[in-house]
Amino acid sequence: MENRYAVRRERYQNLLSEFIEKLEAKTETPRTAVIADLKARAINERQVEVTRALQADDEEWQNLAEIEAKKLLTLVINRFARPYCPERGIGYLNFDNEDQKKRVLGEEQSNLRLIEKICGVDLAYDEHNNSVNVYGFDPVRRELGRATVDRLMRERNAITPARIEQLAEQTKKDLFQRIHNDGNRIAKELHINNLSPEIKNMMGALRYRYSFTQNQHFHCAEVGHLCGLLAAELDVAVADARRAGMLHDIGKSMDHSVDGGHAVIGADFIKQHGEADHIVHAVRAHHFDEQPSTNLAYLVIAADAISGARPGARRSTVATYTQKIHDLQTIARGFDGVIDTHVLSAGREVRVYVDGKALDDLRALDLSQKIAHKIEEEMQYPGQIRVTVVRETQAVEYAK
């Protein structure tokens, strides 16, 4: 019995070998290559299955994370009950009567020129509105100029150059004291200790800095509170979160003599004045000038976005909006073949009407690309601006 089984097995092996040899000869493919190909196919199929499973898991986790994030943000925003009245910067002062105007302006507006020299700002009398407008790049100097003119308007004594210098000096002392007090107040409000006097003064100076009309001093306080609430929910150090949130925009208080983005120069400044590395990193990374690598950095980014996106927090000024519309129209009308332009959706779309005889469809497409490219090069704006070129084609025939 065993002999018979062995003979059959040997015959089977011989037939199998013969079959494989004939198959290799017919397909011109060696056995090892076929085996390798089958293995590769099996591995690829398994990899596809694993990749799909991982993608499904990833999508599920992302959805869960988004749901939890929305719950957390809703909880934190509802807990943040800090009263807030938007403080807007005032860049002009109105005269009460003709006598006050003459006293303040002086002969040929000499008093304004002296205040300009002392405060480092530009002052302009607006005859139409009967007011003095204050201009300048440095927000603290602007406030100094405004407060000096305001003090001069309330002056009852004779106005002389010496008296103007005296009033400006007193105004400067009062302003610096307010800056010092504001810096101490915001640190006390957020329970932040061991803050250097230089950092406190910079935080106080933010009282006179605005971004899209949002007061940056109060914005930093908001971010500090929000960051602390987020940290408490996520088991991150609350004190560090409040500190980093408050300091995140300190670079905006520095004047144009310091080069760099506000996140970078702010981080450098607080590092020079003793802040810890993880606080410095959170400040530097909140606009991705440095890749965020800590939970604290991401909390600052989130809190900053919440404060800036709050309804009514930020808005463009009328002058800024008007300038944007004017710039868009000027750019679009600067190309040949353009008949008219309309700016729609609050400056988010430019509709350009062209001469259908002068431009064919291909040139109209090329024109839209050129206009969009020039807008990107010459303007600064959030989001995107849609450029639509409209080419009218008329077909006319007469029935006789």
pLDDT tens digit sequence for 279-325: 999 999 998 889 999 999 999 999 998 887 766 556 655 667 778 88
Q: What's the confidence (pLDDT) of residue 107?
A: 86
What sign results for the dihedral spanned by CA atoms 92, 94, 98, 102?
A: negative
> Which residues is 387 bridged to in the sheet?
350
H-assigned helices in the chain:
2-27, 31-79, 98-105, 110-119, 139-153, 161-189, 197-205, 216-234, 238-247, 262-272, 277-284, 295-309, 318-333, 361-378
pLDDT tens digit sequence for 241-281: 999 999 999 998 887 667 788 899 999 999 999 999 999 99
For 364, counting Cβ atoms within 10 Å of its Cβ (0-12 exposed, 13-18 middle, 19+ buried), the class is middle
Do 94 and 133 meet the contact criterion of CB atoms below 8 Å apart?
A: no
| Stated pTM of the model | 0.66
Residues contacting residue 226 through CB under 8 Å, at least 6 positions apart: 76, 80, 245, 302, 303, 306, 307
Helix axes 238-247, 216-234, angle to 10 degrees: 160
Q: What's the confidence (pLDDT) of residue 341?
A: 92
Do 84 and 218 meet the contact criterion of CB atoms below 8 Å apart?
A: yes
Residue 195 has φ and ψ, to the nearest 5°, of: -100, 130
Do 149 and 175 meet the contact criterion of CB atoms below 8 Å apart?
A: no
Residue 147 has pLDDT above 90, yes or no: yes
Residue 43 has pLDDT above 60, yes or no: yes
Helix (H, G, I), strand (E, B) or coil at 343: strand
